Chain A
Amino acid sequence: MSAMSSNWDRRSVLRAAAGLSAAGALAACGSNNGRGGGSGSGKSLTQYFHAYGEAGTEQAIKKYAAAYDKANVSTQWITGNTFETKLFAALLTKNAPDVFEFHPQIQLIKSGQVADLSDLIDPVKDDFNPADIKSHTVDGKIYGVRMIDDPQFFFYRKSMLEKAKVDVPTTLDELIEAAAKLTTSKVKGLFMGNDLTSIQSNLIWSAGADTLNEKNEIAYHTDAVAEGLTKLHGLFTSGHLLLDAPADYWDPSAIDQGLCAIQWCGMWAMPVMQKALGDDLGVFPFPKVGDSGKQSVYNGGWSMFVNAKGKNVEAAKEYVKWLWIEQKKYQEDWALSYGFHIPPRASIAAEATKLKSGLPAEGVKLFNDFGHFDNIGWTQAMIVAFNDVMANAVRKNQNPEAALDACDKKVDVELKKLFG
């Protein structure tokens, strides 16, 4: 046997392992807190973000967190398409995030999951987009701070439309016709996402309907919506729609790579598209459906919420106030330095020179003219119920009325649970 093994008998190894464990435990009590630098006061906060596609966003969020000196803020950057489920599952545990981004959802408020942030927002309420404030308000209390507004509309290749002698569509019929004319052996006319759920709310709005009415009753089940579903099924089976693209609608790859002439996407991808296509790019809203409809733009976006059941609610509110109310330079950086987003604060939006001219300015105009904001009562469960309508009526040839009836049943159950 070697000298080494005679020196390191089992007891020595056990002692060494125990020593290492103790040292590790002591080290864990020290400075390994996940922060990028700076000095914290000892309070630890965790924030959840979904993975943004724009390069540099994760680093930016971590940079902001590192700059906060009243608590140690760590960031969970959740990749994949299961942010919602991971967030909801985490919120039930002791390791729930203290702050997290999501969309305004009334069930989070009803279940006491998110904290009232009125006291943070009230002093600057007038500086926020009123529609954003409305979409986060329940019974006069404001439950989230909007970080960015993300209008979604169609992007199109001007040269392709000109070559095919196609005008910018303003009705669903014209859009379907345009898709047919623009389709060639190598390019599909239109891309609206692989499962078409990205345009489901726009279909409702453009048909002159709404998800829920003012009384929180079903408002989407109309003849015009059913007619729109029938037409979309025709488009789906026409062969003029790009399906099963490697990247979904939120990624500009399809239009950038010349796979389609028109793509549904968000304003966040505009800088990348402009870099790839230059001036050969235009935007238009979701066309109107039926005679009584109106063009629509979905004003998506993300908001910051505080976990009301967390261990450090006050510290979390302080952090949210610091970052999303006071630090205007970071808010501007977040909205404009990576992708293009519209800052929800009027004072920041007014100084956003990148959005003042050219295509970004057109996007902002569509946002103002045709925008629809999140309805806080239209919950994730209801959205999923309508996902099934898109799957069954558009992709699977189920009678639209039957699909909408099935959706009504699920939405009714939710409405009863939420509003009685």
Chain B
Amino acid sequence: MSTTTARDVARPAPAKASKARPRRGLRGNPTLNFWLFTGPFVIGLVIFIFIPIGWSIWLSFFEARYTVTPSKFIGFDNYHQILTNSNFVKSLGTFTVFAAFIVPTTWAVSLGLALLVHRMRFMKAFFRSVFFLPTACSYVAAALIWKMSIFNGVRFGLANTVIGWFGIDNIAWLANPDPPWYWLVIVTVRLWLQSGFYMILFLAALQNIPGELYEAAAIDGAKPGWQTFRYITLPQLRATSTAVILLLLIAAYQAFDEFYNLLGKATWGKPPLVELYNTALGTNQDYGAGSAGAVVLTLLICVVTLFQGKIMGFGRGEESK
């Protein structure tokens, strides 16, 4: 416990008394100011987030086909329906495969890019921009470019042209599930779209590593390159890595656009959101079952996120490391 008395603490000089008029109206009412600034966001949050969540939970207990104002209460039937629906269960498997690949791959690629542009001695800004720019592209647009220009199945598609140089026949990248080339298309489009964003996060973290650490390591005989990266850079990026992995995992759960636009009427490669979209907003228009699925998925995301946070120490202070 500190024994320092209040008198020992240096106090800031009192502000010079203002000669202006006493504060009135907006300036003099902090409560009003608070609501003026936060009110619009709170209203938006309530209208677009909380009410839909509440409505969705309410719908999940009703028979709600072709209506969002149902009257027939059916208890947990929608939950039973969605949990025994093999397509929904399969979609969780699809997500697991996707997340298992895309999370570590994006982490590695974005870290690699960050290291590359961090150490670059010339045209640094140019390359940073080039790698970051795909982030600005919409997932739908990118998926259509991948589908129609790069990975179409005809001879003048970019991918087929390239493999044609090696004497390989055209491949139907998306139509044929066996072999599952569609994963290559889906994974590459997502890597292209999101690596640049996470590169920026890593870049910021890299710039925050004190140079003295590397100097001290060099004096102690650490070899530059892998050894320095393994024992200094990587541990220093731990907090950023944890956040990046968490964000990537959530983004993987939210995967929709590229799957929906690339695979169309396929029965494979459907992540949970596509399955739920088809259930609720597709031709079945079953808002009850769709809402039940959304609630289940939300709970699942919460559990996985908390579990992942516990394992990786997300939210712990520096002192606990």
Per the bound structure, the CA–CA distance linking A107 and B66 in Å amounts to: 9
| A391 with B68: CB separation less than 8 A | no
Which of B99-107, B111-119, B279-287 is near enough to bind chain A?
B279-287
A59 beta carbon closer than 8 Å to chain B: no
| B283 with A195: CB separation less than 8 A | no
Per the bound structure, the CA–CA distance linking A127 and B63 in Å amounts to: 42
| A239 with B153: CB separation less than 8 A | no
**B residues touching A (Cβ–Cβ < 8 Å)?**
65-68, 148-149, 151-155, 157, 169, 172-178, 264-268, 281-285
| A88 with B281: CB separation less than 8 A | yes
Number of contacts between A and B (CB, 8 Å)?
A: 79
| A245 with B281: CB separation less than 8 A | no
| B154 with A396: CB separation less than 8 A | no
| B283 with A244: CB separation less than 8 A | no
| B172 with A244: CB separation less than 8 A | yes
A358 beta carbon closer than 8 Å to chain B: no
Q: Across the two chains, which residue of chain A brings its CB closest to B283?
A: A380
Supposing A113-B66, A246-B154 touch, asked if A195 and B175 sit within 8 A by C-beta, the answer is: yes
Q: Across the two chains, which residue of chain B brings its CB closest to A112?
A: B66
Residues of A within 8 A of B268 (CB): 391, 396
A372 beta carbon closer than 8 Å to chain B: no
CB distance from A253 to the nearest CB of B (A): 10
Per the bound structure, the CA–CA distance linking A396 and B175 in Å amounts to: 10
| B283 with A395: CB separation less than 8 A | no
Residues of A within 8 A of B285 (CB): 88
Per the bound structure, the CA–CA distance linking A312 and B264 in Å amounts to: 36
Q: Mark A358-400, 1 if CB is under 8 A from B, else 0.
A: 0000000000000000000001110110011011100111000
Residues of A within 8 A of B282 (CB): 85, 384
A263 beta carbon closer than 8 Å to chain B: no
Per the bound structure, the CA–CA distance linking A243 and B268 in Å amounts to: 17
Q: Across the two chains, which residue of chain A brings its CB closest to B174?
A: A244
Taking CB atoms and an 8 Å cut-off, the chain A residues in 140-189 that contact chain B are 186
**A residues touching B (Cβ–Cβ < 8 Å)?**
81, 84-85, 88-89, 92, 107, 111, 113, 186, 194-195, 197, 236, 239, 242-246, 259, 379-381, 383-384, 387-388, 390-392, 395-397, 417
Residues of A within 8 A of B284 (CB): 381, 384
Residues of B within 8 A of A381 (CB): 283-284
Option from A92, A243, A380, A384 in Cβ contact (under 8 Å) with B153: A243
Residues of A within 8 A of B266 (CB): 195, 391, 395
CB distance from A166 to the nearest CB of B (A): 22
| A92 with B66: CB separation less than 8 A | yes
Supposing A85-B283, A380-B283, A391-B267 touch, asked if A243 and B172 sit within 8 A by C-beta, the answer is: yes
Per the bound structure, the CA–CA distance linking A244 and B159 in Å amounts to: 12
Per the bound structure, the CA–CA distance linking A305 and B67 in Å amounts to: 19
- Could you show 19 A-B contacts with beta carbons less than 8 Å apart? A89-B281, A92-B67, A111-B66, A111-B67, A186-B155, A195-B265, A195-B266, A242-B153, A243-B153, A243-B176, A246-B149, A381-B284, A384-B282, A384-B284, A388-B267, A391-B265, A391-B268, A396-B267, A417-B65
CB distance from B230 to the nearest CB of A (A): 43
Per the bound structure, the CA–CA distance linking A242 and B170 in Å amounts to: 10
Residues of B within 8 A of A92 (CB): 66-68
Q: Across the two chains, which residue of chain A brings its CB closest to B284?
A: A381
Residues of B within 8 A of A379 (CB): 283
13 more A-B residue pairs beyond the given contacts A195-B175, A387-B265, A391-B265, with a C-beta to C-beta distance below 8 A: A85-B281, A89-B281, A92-B66, A111-B66, A113-B66, A195-B266, A244-B154, A244-B172, A259-B155, A384-B282, A388-B267, A396-B268, A397-B178
| B283 with A245: CB separation less than 8 A | no
Residues of A within 8 A of B174 (CB): 194, 244
Q: Across the two chains, which residue of chain B brings its CB closest to A259?
A: B154
Per the bound structure, the CA–CA distance linking A388 and B283 in Å amounts to: 14
Per the bound structure, the CA–CA distance linking A379 and B151 in Å amounts to: 33
| A395 with B175: CB separation less than 8 A | yes
Residues of A within 8 A of B68 (CB): 92
CB distance from A156 to the nearest CB of B (A): 19
| B177 with A244: CB separation less than 8 A | no
Residues of A within 8 A of B148 (CB): 246
Per the bound structure, the CA–CA distance linking A214 and B173 in Å amounts to: 41
Residues of B within 8 A of A244 (CB): 151-154, 157, 172-175
Residues of B within 8 A of A391 (CB): 265-268
| A245 with B153: CB separation less than 8 A | yes
Closest 3 CB pairs of A and B: A244-B153, A243-B172, A380-B283
| B67 with A245: CB separation less than 8 A | no
Per the bound structure, the CA–CA distance linking A245 and B157 in Å amounts to: 9
Residues of B within 8 A of A197 (CB): 265
Supposing A195-B266, A381-B284 touch, asked if A245 and B155 sit within 8 A by C-beta, the answer is: no
| A396 with B172: CB separation less than 8 A | no
Residues of B within 8 A of A111 (CB): 66-67
Residues of A within 8 A of B153 (CB): 242-245
Q: Across the two chains, which residue of chain A brings its CB closest to B268?
A: A396
Supposing A259-B154, A388-B267 touch, asked if A396 and B283 sit within 8 A by C-beta, the answer is: no
Residues of A within 8 A of B281 (CB): 85, 88-89
Per the bound structure, the CA–CA distance linking A195 and B264 in Å amounts to: 8
Supposing A92-B68, A245-B152 touch, asked if A383 and B283 sit within 8 A by C-beta, the answer is: yes
CB distance from B290 to the nearest CB of A (A): 12
